[in-house]
Structure 1
């Protein structure tokens, strides 16, 4: 039986890092949010510092939806790890329910994972040079503003919650597969 692991958390909370550890542990395909964001961000000329217009995010969402169509077509036994930042805004909970529905349609176990980290640590992480390669947000002022203005979507009741300031990525991956009952 396949699993659909959904890692949600603020920028710099370690979604991709934990996702890579989870993928290595389970063999699940990692589809992190920058997989569909980066082609659009790169074409636009994003630098991770300058704010992006809403239209750029709309285009990235269109690429995300096409990627989800491919995921739906994947063989039933295949597992996937998806990552995303979900603000506390109208429609954000719909993204969770969309993936929950996709997992159900595929006969996969849906595993929501909510990552957190203190804002001061997020601000320290966001400036790391490796974030530039993936065109990720790299301005601590913008990060703080984003979290104040948009917040984080509350975790659904069935989510496992992990504070990435307290747990190494490999240990987080073990917690996730244990929670999902996916240990070999």
Structure 2
């Protein structure tokens, strides 16, 4: 099982690029809103209960992916790099994959905020992320989140890897062509191609 972690700020294209990678590799997609959306009907976003159950779902899906002998899993997430607890949680999530000796790669997608704000309201986000259907709210939420969180690594500050010991690519995804970004990921990481 190969774990491909796609990270970056909100609306950078993690889910869309992840789907394009899966279409070309046979990997499976576990995007961050697959665990977020079902919980929002019960718990408010960010509450302790929401965070505990969201983390549990992610942990179990990733761990079971190793046991299920999937060819690969693309996991998308946004992480506040200034909160050590979030990085610790990421290490906990990937632990079962590391213990199995399976490969793990991190791909960080980048795009300016104005590009990402324009993506709010797009068909993918509307179809798969119910919480983003109020486009005005979604745009203001991105701006608010980024005023108090850091979702993009700084090689000078963070080193060259989000997860030590595993490859880390930083790719510009401002162009809006998920197929192009997916092909670059597959080529640069040497992933299997269908």
Q: TM-score, with normalisation over the residues of structure 2?
A: 0.79
Are the equivalent residues in 1 in contact too, given 2:63–2:97 (CA < 8 A)?
no
1:143 offset after TM fit, Å? 0.7
Alpha carbons of structure 1 residues 53 and 173: separation in structure 2 relative to 1, 3 Å: closer
Counterpart of 1:8 in structure 2 is 7
Q: Is the deviation greater in 79-88 or in 146-155?
A: 146-155
Matched, 1:182 2:181: no
Counterpart of 2:27 in structure 1 is 28
Return structure 1 stretches of 4+ with deviation > 6 angstroms. none
**Match for residue 173 of structure 1 among 170, 182, 185:** 182
State the distance in 2 between where 1:150 and 1:92 align: 11
Q: Is the deviation greater in 172-181 or in 136-145?
A: 136-145
State the distance in 1 between where 2:141 and 2:88 align: 25
State the distance in 1 between where 2:94 and 2:46 align: 29
1:107 offset after TM fit, Å? 3.0
SS of the counterpart of 1:159?
strand
1:28-75 CA deviation, whole Å, 9 max, x = no partner?
A: 01111111112112445x7xxxxx342333332222222223223222
1:168 offset after TM fit, Å? 1.6
State the distance in 1 between where 2:74 and 2:169 align: 14
Are the equivalent residues in 1 in contact too, given 2:4–2:74 (CA < 8 A)?
yes
**Match for residue 135 of structure 1 among 127, 130, 138:** 130
**What is the number of residues matched between the two proteins?**
176
**Match for residue 119 of structure 1 among 109, 113, 118:** 113
Q: TM-score, with normalisation over the residues of structure 1?
A: 0.83
Q: Which runs of 5+ in 1 are unaligned?
A: 47-51
Q: Which runs of 5+ in 2 are unaligned?
A: 155-159, 162-166
